[in-house]
Amino acid sequence: MRVLVKGAGVAGLTVAYELASRGAAVTVCEVRPEIGHNASWLAGGMLAPWCERESAERAVVTLGSGAADWWEAVLPGHVARTGTLVLAHARDAPELARFSARTENHRRLSVEDIANLEPDLAGRFRHGLLFAEEAHLDPRRAMEALARELNAKGIAFRFGDEQVSPSGFDRIIDCTGIASPDPDLRGVRGEMLILRTREIALTRPVRLLHPRHPIYIVPRADHHFMVGATMIETDNDGPVTARSLMELLNTAYALHPAFGEAEITEMGAALRPAYRDNFPRVSSCGATITVNGFHRHGFLLAPAMARRAADLVFNSDMESDNEIDRQRRSA
């Protein structure tokens, strides 16, 4: 079975891995000259199905709860299983109550609990939630490591190549995100920034709830922090706006004033590909299978969707998305 995977974002790489593991001869083509600089590159890398359930359907838990295990098995050492901390300022206490009511698998934290978990945040928040089973990874390191892993398995990468001929391949898997011609896809703009400071340390992603600008901060190596992300309904992927930058920085500053002294090492904006229900889909048309629409759940749902795509490739009698639709209906 010879398969061409188009796109080397998190969807393309995970699909390539699943296919190669089942014995397919996989070629990955990517229009960009190297790994990265796509929507996945700007992702938070949170493997947080229970938190995401706040605004996503139950399938985000049923399909996403195995993601940390998948990444850990494929890339040992990349996954930090330190949970997620959800906080709100006293004036936004109703937001915390709402978040708590809409999610599961968390426990309520006291002032002392928060101080024990994140000493640098001691005394700053009265209430919080810990989602202890959640995890996170650094998307950039993970994508580069996964590409190396695929190389080692003998998978061919063709970078900077827009015109890979489909002839000679039994199946084509389109994982091109917002660049896909699928008319059902829309862009949901996300803006993020990376800060660097030695004045504060966090050991887990922190979500700061706010009625208008809920923001998360994910600790990365070498005193870096990824701050994200806006959610704007537009197909404009232009530079980060001043307003969004203010919102992101305001929230970081509100979490801890030390972020006010941080260096801004990067700002980025990209379009999340999304279907109408904001849930990814594996769809089949002739010899082409499309894996797309990850919205804000690329690293979380890519493993489950990649398995699904591989099932389709090796069992062409299977009807695409039926199983997932059924799971979602019964959820």
Partner 1 sequence: MLSLYGTEIASRLLLGTAQYPSPAILTAAAKASGTEIVTVSLRRESAGGASGGRFWSLIRELGVRILPNTAGCHTVKEAVTTARMAREVFATDWIKLEVIGNHDTLQPDVFALVEAARILTDEGFAVFPYTTEDLVVAERLLEAGCKVLMPWCAPIGSATGPENIRALRSLRAHFPDTPLIVDAGLGRPSQAAEVMELGFDAVLLNTAVARAGDPARMAAAFAKAVEAGHNAFHAGLVEPRDTAVPSTPVIGQAVFS
Minimum distance from CB of 204 to partner 1 (Å)?
A: 25
Q: How far apart are CA 75 and CA 69, in angstroms?
A: 10
Count CA within 13 A, CB hemisphere, residue 207.
26
Residue closer to partner 1 by CB (options 135, 274) is: 274
User: Tokens 């990814």, residue?
Assistant: 280
- Contacts of residue 211, defined as CB under 8 A and 6 or more positions apart, other chains included, come to 92, 95
Q: How far apart are CA 297 and CA 280, in angstroms?
A: 8
How is residue 236 written in tokens?
Answer: 């404009």
181 binds partner 1 (CB under 8 A): no
207 contacts partner 1 (rule: CB under 8 A): no
Q: Which is nearer to partner 1, 144 or 237 (CB)?
A: 237
Q: Which of 281, 36, 269, 249 is nearest to 138 (CA)?
A: 36
Burial classification of residue 327, based on how many CB atoms lie within 10 Å of its CB (0-12 exposed, 13-18 middle, 19 or more buried): middle
Q: How far apart are CA 242 and CA 255, in angstroms?
A: 20
- The residue among 10 and 178 lying less far from partner 1, judged by its C-beta, is 178
Find the binding residues for partner 1 in span 137-176 (CB under 8 A): none
Cβ closest to partner 1, residue 276 vs residue 329 = 276
Q: What residues from 62 to 121 belong to the interface with partner 1 (CB under 8 A)?
A: 94, 98, 101-102
Q: In this chain, which stretch among 114-122, 202-210, 226-234, 301-309 interacts with partner 1, using CB under 8 A?
A: 226-234
Decide: is 327 part of the binding site for partner 1 (CB under 8 A): no
Is residue 236 a contact residue for partner 1 (CB under 8 A)?
yes
Residue 186 vs 204, nearer CB to partner 1:
186
Q: How far apart are CA 331 and CA 321, in angstroms?
A: 15
Task: Give the one residue of 112, 222, 233, 317 binding partner 1; rule: CB under 8 A.
Answer: 233
Could you tell me the smallest distance in angstroms from the CB atom of residue 246 to partner 1?
11
Asked if residue 249 binds partner 1 (CB under 8 A), the reply is no
Residue choice 110, 116, 151, 234 for contact with partner 1 (CB under 8 A): 234
> Which residue number, 295 or 307, has a Cβ lying nearer to partner 1?
295
We find the least distance from the C-beta atom of residue 48 to partner 1, in angstroms, to be 16
DSSP 25-75: EEEEEESSSSS-SSTGGG---EE-HHHHTTTS-THHHHHHTTHHHHHHHHS
Residues touching partner 1, count (CB under 8 A): 26
Among 24, 56, 202, 249, binds partner 1 (CB under 8 A): 56
> Which of 21, 55, 65, 82 is close enough to bind partner 1 by CB under 8 A?
55
Task: Scan residues 257-276 and list those touching partner 1 (CB under 8 A).
Answer: 274, 276
Nearest to 15 by CA among 25, 23, 5: 5
Q: Which residue from 185, 227, 248, 252 is in contact with partner 1, where contact means CB under 8 A?
A: 185
| Interaction site with partner 1 (CB under 8 A) | 55-57, 94, 98, 101-102, 185-187, 189, 211-212, 232-236, 238, 241, 244, 274, 276-279
